[in-house]
């Protein structure tokens, strides 16, 4: 081995380079504050390594970006850990960068001859923010999609060239596929080499300036990089990695989230409003700061004031030539840090009190969990992308369509289907549990029929059906009540609800008996059942609440099979083209609880 190493050294000089790196002099001895630059480089190298392996499984297109990140996060062995390390190390880089900047100002390490070294450090925050902002979009989930629009909109207010910058970044007039590919090109191909170049130059000049930093330092205080300073550097880098691993593992272990690693939301949907979009925590201060510049004055908060602050930072080395100037610089930096903390606190506090934002977060969490269930179904993710799964999912779309088109009259468990209470008064029945045995039983109960689940508070409470229940059914004998129970079983069986099929198959005798009693107890005096009845004045009970029956009444409630000419409120959603055929199916399937659920 010695002969081999000697042979390599003779031809490459590696031993001399290694000795020059490991045994260079450190004036003043090894110190923890000298380790921040190494930790900053460590965080960047970890991002490069993990980013490369993420790249090997990532597919940057509008129909494959989310799907490939889902594969990394939930299918690939160790993918959640890889993505988590990349994500949280990027945040650690920002923290280490801020600490390194504060350290240089606090100890005066930016004064001559280190001005250029300090200016290179000032170039890193914009590059780091650029890396972060372009990375938001890459998972192509709802949060990243809507959060990424903010920096694009800020770039658009740049005087003269703003609209062109915005158009170049977007890749056209609409946020979409070309925006994603351009952000990926910047995030993985352009910004990392720039950041690496600036960072390495900064560290080189910092080390070069360190040799002549303190001429008054005694020889006894001087030491070499190896082993004392190297140990401190390694310990700090290890500490950074332990914090990153804790951020990945602890939230799951503490029950704060459902899975290890970084959260992945539902696929980006430009047509679906999203109120929970926020930048990363270290950028919340700017989000809050821009609130104080409304109506055309955003340029002050987004560009002019940050530019002035950046110019002041660039002048700090010259101001620090005097003791008073150095103290002023430190005080300014502390004030800036306090302002950052105050704005971040205000942003978080306002979000906690914002009901719309909190509801948006809750909805986003639910959809993120639902899309994972759908993606793991036997059908898997279609070629059209994972967003198709959500758009065709009754459990996801049914409540939204119900709230928009049905909740002005109906309710679903007292609300509009999405948890909100409509402003319009309820004028029709509550459809939660529609056509189940309990729902039908309540409808035929002389007491329960007057509740808001059925006719309570509506004009139908004194109608023919209500009078029949309160007068006739209320006086049923025990024998008739037994037959009524079988009628309820038979009517519920007409719906063929998945939740009741197993029970109904065991009670086939009751179902058959109930079908006979429907005629005997007078139901067919108004309703048709199992055969046409041109004199029927109420909805046909054949296939009552089945998928076909529900689609028919949503299509056109004025059809003779339903309410006919008596209908005076419910729109013909299909005949009037208010709802498409697919939208009508989604509402019907949701009301029938007919959606995909994984096997137990």
Alpha helices in 290-436 (DSSP H): 298-299, 305-319, 323-353, 355-375, 387-391, 394-405
Write down the pLDDT at residue 259.
84
Alpha carbon distance 172, 572 (integer Å): 40
Whole-number percent of the chain with pLDDT over 70: 97
Helix axes 79-106, 115-137, angle to 10 degrees: 150
Mean pLDDT of 310-339: 94
Q: What is the pLDDT of residues 574-583, one digit of tens each?
A: 888 899 999 9
Write down the pLDDT at residue 219.
54
* Helix, coil or strand: residue 141: strand
Mean pLDDT of 159-168: 85
At the topology level, CATH places domain 35-275 in Cytochrome Bc1 Complex; Chain C (1.20.810)
Alpha carbon distance 330, 106 (integer Å): 6
> Other C-beta atoms within 10 Å of 447: how many?
10
Write down the pLDDT at residue 226.
86
Cβ atoms of 41 and 119 within 8 Å: the answer is: no
Write down the pLDDT at residue 340.
96
Using the predicted structure, report yes or no on whether residue 189 has a pLDDT greater than 70.
yes
Alpha carbon distance 390, 371 (integer Å): 7
Per-residue confidence band for 153, with pLDDT thresholds at 50, 70 and 90: confident
26-61 CB burial, b ≥16 within 10 A, e <16: bbeebeeebbbbbbbbbbbebbeebbebbeeebebe
Using the predicted structure, report yes or no on whether residue 465 has a pLDDT greater than 80.
yes
Whole-number average pLDDT of the chain: 89
Whole-number percent of the chain with pLDDT over 90: 56
Using the predicted structure, report yes or no on whether residue 216 has a pLDDT greater than 50.
no
Q: Which residue has the tokens 């208010």?
A: 578
Q: What is the pLDDT of residues 86-100, one digit of tens each?
A: 999 999 999 999 999
Per-residue confidence band for 215, with pLDDT thresholds at 50, 70 and 90: very low
Q: What is the pLDDT of residues 32-55, one digit of tens each?
A: 888 888 999 999 999 999 999 999
Mean pLDDT of 70-74: 94
Write down the pLDDT at residue 99.
93
What stretch(es) of the chain map to CATH 1.20.810.10?
35-275
Q: Which residues pair with 411 in a beta bridge?
A: 430
Alpha helices in 157-267 (DSSP H): 162-170, 177-184, 191-210, 230-253
Write down the pLDDT at residue 213.
47
Mean pLDDT of 225-233: 88
Distances in Å between the alpha carbon of 569 and those of 398, 460, 470, 557, 578?
21, 12, 25, 9, 14
In angstroms, how far is CA 324 from the centroid of its own chain?
Answer: 48
Q: State the distance between the two ends of the chain, measured CA to CA, in whole angstroms.
A: 60
Alpha carbon distance 568, 20 (integer Å): 91
Distances in Å between the alpha carbon of 406 and those of 1, 10, 77, 391?
81, 84, 45, 19
Q: Indicate the range of 208-212, 221-225, 521-525 predicted with least confidence.
A: 208-212
* Helix, coil or strand: residue 75: helix
Q: What is the pLDDT of residues 244-286, one digit of tens each?
A: 999 999 998 888 887 888 999 999 998 887 888 888 899 999 9
Question: DSSP readout, 447-462?
Answer: TGGGSTTTTTTSGGGG
Please report, for the chain, how many H helices and E strands are present, in that order: 25, 2
Using the predicted structure, report yes or no on whether residue 500 has a pLDDT greater than 90.
no
Alpha carbon distance 100, 43 (integer Å): 13
In angstroms, how far is CA 359 from the centroid of its own chain?
Answer: 12
Q: What is the pLDDT of residues 374-421, one digit of tens each?
A: 999 998 899 999 999 999 999 999 999 999 999 998 999 999 999 999
- Picking from 105, 121, 128, the residue whose alpha carbon sits closest to that of residue 47 is 128
Question: Rounded to the nearest 5 degrees, what angle is found at the Cα of 518, between the Cα atoms of 512 and 524?
Answer: 140
Cβ atoms of 469 and 446 within 8 Å: the answer is: yes
Alpha carbon distance 185, 117 (integer Å): 28
Distances in Å between the alpha carbon of 233 and those of 83, 227, 552?
25, 10, 72
Using the predicted structure, report yes or no on whether residue 27 has a pLDDT greater than 80.
no
Distances in Å between the alpha carbon of 7 and those of 10, 13, 18, 21, 58?
5, 10, 16, 21, 42
In angstroms, how far is CA 558 from the centroid of its own chain?
Answer: 42
Write down the pLDDT at residue 339.
96
Phi-psi region of 385 (alpha: psi -120 to 50; beta: other; left: phi over 0): left
Using the predicted structure, report yes or no on whether residue 211 has a pLDDT greater than 80.
no
**Rg (Cα) of the chain, in Å, rounded?**
34
Q: Indicate the range of 75-89, 165-179, 538-552 predicted with least confidence.
A: 165-179
Alpha carbon distance 336, 323 (integer Å): 20
């Amino acid at each position: 081995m010695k002969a081999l190493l000697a042979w390599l050294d003779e031809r490459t000089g590696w031993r001399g380079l290694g000795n020059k790196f490991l045994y260079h002099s450190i004036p003043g001895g090894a110190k923890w504050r000298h380790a921040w630059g190494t930790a900053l480089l460590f965080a960047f190298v970890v991002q490069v390594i993990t980013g490369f392996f993420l790249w090997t499984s990532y597919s940057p297109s509008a129909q494959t970006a989310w799907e490939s990140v889902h594969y990394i996060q939930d299918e690939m062995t160790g993918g959640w850990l890889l993505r988590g390390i990349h994500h949280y190390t990027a945040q650690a880089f920002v923290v280490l960068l801020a600490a390194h900047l504060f350290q240089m100002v606090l100890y005066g390490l930016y004064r001559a001859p280190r001005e250029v070294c300090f200016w290179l450090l000032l170039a890193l925050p914009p590059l780091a923010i650029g890396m972060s902002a372009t990375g938001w979009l890459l998972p192509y989930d709802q949060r990243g999609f809507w959060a990424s629009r903010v920096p694009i909109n800020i770039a658009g207010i740049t005087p003269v060239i703003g609209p062109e910058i915005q158009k170049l970044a977007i890749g056209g007039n609409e946020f979409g596929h070309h925006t994603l590919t351009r952000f990926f090109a910047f995030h993985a191909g352009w910004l990392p080499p720039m950041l690496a170049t600036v960072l390495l130059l900064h560290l080189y000049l910092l080390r070069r300036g360190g040799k002549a930093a303190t001429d008054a330092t005694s020889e006894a205080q001087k030491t070499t990089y190896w082993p004392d300073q190297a140990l401190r550097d390694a310990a700090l880098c290890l500490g950074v990695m332990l914090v990153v691993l804790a951020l990945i593992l602890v939230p799951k272990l503490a029950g704060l989230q459902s899975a290890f690693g970084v959260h992945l939301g539902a696929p980006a949907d430009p047509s679906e409003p999203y109120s929970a979009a926020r930048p990363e925590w270290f950028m919340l201060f700017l989000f809050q700061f821009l609130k104080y510049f409304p109506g055309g004055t955003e340029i002050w908060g987004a560009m002019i004031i940050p530019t002035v602050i950046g110019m002041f930072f660039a002048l700090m080395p010259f101001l620090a030539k005097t003791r008073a100037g150095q103290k002023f610089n430190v005080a300014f930096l502390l004030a800036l840090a306090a302002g950052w903390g105050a704005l971040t606190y205000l942003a978080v506090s306002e979000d906690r009190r914002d009901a719309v934002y909190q509801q948006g977060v809750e909805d986003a969490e639910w959809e993120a969990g639902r899309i994972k269930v759908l993606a793991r179904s036997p059908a898997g993710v279609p070629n059209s992308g994972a967003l198709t799964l959500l758009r065709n999912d009754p459990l996801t779309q049914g409540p939204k369509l119900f709230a928009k088109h049905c909740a002005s009259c109906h309710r679903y468990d007292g609300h509009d289907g999405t948890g909100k209470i409509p402003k319009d008064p309820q004028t029709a029945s509550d459809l939660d549990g529609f056509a189940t045995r309990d729902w039908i039983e309540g409808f035929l109960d002389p007491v329960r029929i007057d509740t808001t689940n059925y006719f309570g508070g509506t004009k139908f409470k004194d109608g023919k059906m209500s009078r029949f229940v309160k007068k006739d059914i209320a006086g049923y004998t025990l024998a008739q009540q037994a037959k009524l129970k079988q009628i309820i079983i038979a009517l519920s069986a007409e719906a063929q609800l998945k939740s009741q099929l197993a029970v109904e198959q065991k009670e086939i005798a009751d179902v058959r008996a109930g079908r006979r009693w429907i005629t005997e107890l007078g139901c067919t005096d108004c309703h048709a059942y199992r055969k046409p009845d041109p004199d029927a004045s109420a909805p046909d009970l054949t296939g009552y609440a089945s998928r076909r029956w529900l689609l028919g009444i949503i299509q056109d409630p004025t059809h003779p099979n339903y309410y006919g000419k008596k209908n005076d409120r419910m729109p013909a959603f299909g005949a009037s083209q208010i709802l498409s055929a697919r939208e009508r199916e989604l509402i019907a399937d949701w009301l029938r609880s007919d959606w995909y659920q994984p096997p137990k």
